[in-house]
Structure 1
């Protein structure tokens, strides 16, 4: 899904080898930073989420699947750096990017329902959450390669644009429902709102320029800086997953002002 401009070529080939010579060095540096920084952090956070955090606190299962999709993309990035040519690597990379995007939607919906409809906890139940994760993976595994095979690349833009209205709805609905959600602790309200703002920021500030607009409209370096920032935002979500982190973070920010 990255580089929508020439989907037929970028999705099924090594991204580095498709660049011009003067762009290749910059691209390799960005990818090395991506791999060297995000790979150990992603592995550590996956371990932390699975072994340390309480499953009842937040949508841990959705966040874990999000990190797993990021981990697969990092492995594909290593394949690209060592110049291995494989059409399957590009498909798997963009497939995992689509999976990660829809798990962000799952996190946003769960946080929204937790504030607006606290009695409706279907997205937090183990069976329903596992079923939803399976459905997300199945939908992406079937729909993405099918669009590639049928050359229906417009469908990929539609898949990338669909989460936008959902992020807007979740953030707006949650913000309006905060005063009336008296049964929800203040700390949970702050944490849920922080997660939704972070997901909203990532999608509309970092991802939309890559997903929707043609690549010619964005300078090459800025495009890849956006790409480099995206995985760090997913890792920052871990701060919002731990109870009490938001209050301490806000206290630190207030004391520094």
Structure 2
């Protein structure tokens, strides 16, 4: 307990690994579990049924595990789950889930969450994402691995953002964004594929060319979505190396309940 500052308030029922550090004036509630190596900075509030993994870093004034901002919530014991190795900067707010959905809000591993980011109830965020300052998710949003959300972008409830997608600054997003696609503007519009991000993550030229061809079929060929999906199936068969990524784009189109930014 020597790693907990004397001014911090940690409920006796909270489960903290002995290596967890808690800074001055932070508050940790009775249903919180925190794994090894996590550092909770000063003036952080962690409450609710919240589980936090290893080696996370919470900066000052974060609010983690507070009640959902949803009038239907009636005190049910819903959850927040945070993985390993995340950096969570100042004034971030993560809310619990609701029984109207999965009952849990999730954040994966190795995410960089900048200041003033909001994850509303029931959001499902993958791993290796970057959220720039003031990126805001409404309830029930899903964000795939390696996605990047630029500053001040806002995402409408129930939207899905695919893996490796890039959302530009100040974007107002009300429809789904397929994997690898860059969107920007208000209303949002597709601007190409996230080539620089893919290169940095080791995608080969053949893989990038296959993703680019699939993007053109969806956005530049004048096809309906059903026609584009048929073309993507052919493109998937044409390149073994690009096939998993083209398949991911085609599968995303099948599951896009809100329609895609187009």
Q: Same fold by TM-score, threshold 0.5 exceeded?
A: no
Q: Which has the higher strand share?
A: 2
TM-score normalised to the size of structure 2? 0.25
TM-score normalised to the size of structure 1? 0.26
Q: Which has the higher helix share?
A: 1
